[in-house]
């Protein structure tokens, strides 16, 4: 069955920033394959009047997860840098609500709910269901999905809209199992379907 989006749904695009795509500082293999999928979902969310959120890693230069500070990652998504910008082919509308995370040196910031106001913003927007895609499946997407479930939201993982970084082989699959075990619902469709009031509009393009 195809996804049905309405006004109490929100699309949450996680960290679709230059540094996580091929050519970036922390590139995720095949990361760019998610762009047309995310764009199709953005278009469906626009049509349905669903909210659109986009998270971004927004790190200071001395972030604790960076290698020079003894962390696991190369320097990436530094505040104001080109690597921290959203991918240029991602069609985020101007009404997109941006959530910055990891903006303090010691805030790890994998989850979009850690040290942000995302939870109250979703509540104020009357959101009951989240549709999540972006990068990376085994870090920021995983932690965001797990925290979203803890807040009581219904959470759908759009599988074709995410890819793992696989620091260790199998991390992506393990993350997927963890999300499903915690109650996330697997969404395999590369596009969303809109429920507009009483009529159903099919989004037949990609």
Q: Would residue 77 show up in a list of annotated catalytic residues for this protein?
A: no
Nearer to ligand VGL, 5 or 140 (CB): 140
- Per DSSP, 205 falls in state -
CB of 53 to ligand VGL, least distance (A): 15
- Annotated active-site residue 15? The verdict is yes
Under rule CB under 6 A, residue 118 binds ligand VGL: no
Strands 199-201 and 193-196: antiparallel
Give the DSSP H or E segment for 172.
helix 171-181
Q: Which of 9, 101, 138, 142 is catalytic?
A: 101
The footprint of ligand VGL on residues 48-107 (CB under 6 A) is: 57, 73
Q: Is 101 a catalytic residue?
A: yes
Distance from C-alpha of 79 to C-alpha of 19, rounded to nearest angstrom:
12
Stretch 146-175 residues interacting with ligand VGL (CB under 6 A): 165
Catalytic residue among 15, 19, 138, 147: 15
Evaluate whether 153 touches 128 at the Cβ level (below 8 Å).
yes
Binding to ligand VGL by CB under 6 A, coded x per residue (else -) over 129-148, reads: ------xx--xx--------
**C-alpha distances in angstroms, 58 versus 9, 50, 69, 108, 182?**
25, 25, 17, 11, 27
Report DSSP letters for 103-119, one per residue: -STT----STTTTSSHH
Q: Which residues are catalytic?
A: 15, 101, 140
Residues that bind ligand VGL (CB under 6 A): 15, 20, 26, 57, 73, 135-136, 139-140, 165
């Amino acid at each position: 069955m195809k996804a049905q989006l309405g006004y109490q749904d929100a699309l949450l695009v996680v960290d679709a920033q230059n540094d996580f795509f091929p050519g970036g500082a922390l590139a995720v293999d095949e990361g760019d394959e998610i762009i047309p999928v995310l764009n199709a979902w953005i278009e469906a969310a626009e049509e349905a009047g669903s909210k659109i959120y986009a998270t971004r890693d927004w790190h200071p230069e001395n972030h604790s997860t960076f290698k020079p500070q003894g962390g696991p990652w190369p320097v990436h998504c530094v505040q104001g840098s080109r690597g921290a910008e959203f991918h240029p082919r991602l069609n985020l509308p101007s009404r997109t609500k941006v959530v910055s995370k990891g903006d303090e040196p010691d805030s790890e910031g994998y989850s979009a709910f850690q040290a942000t106001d995302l939870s109250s913003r979703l509540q104020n927007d009357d959101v009951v269901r989240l549709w999540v895609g972006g990068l990376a499946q085994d870090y920021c997407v995983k932690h965001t999905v797990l925290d979203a479930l803890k807040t009581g939201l219904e959470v759908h993982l759009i599988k074709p809209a995410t890819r793992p970084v696989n620091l260790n082989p199998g991390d992506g699959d393990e993350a997927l199992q963890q999300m499903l075990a915690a109650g996330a619902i697997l969404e395999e469709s590369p596009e969303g379907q809109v429920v507009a009031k009483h009529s159903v509009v099919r989004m037949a393009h990609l």
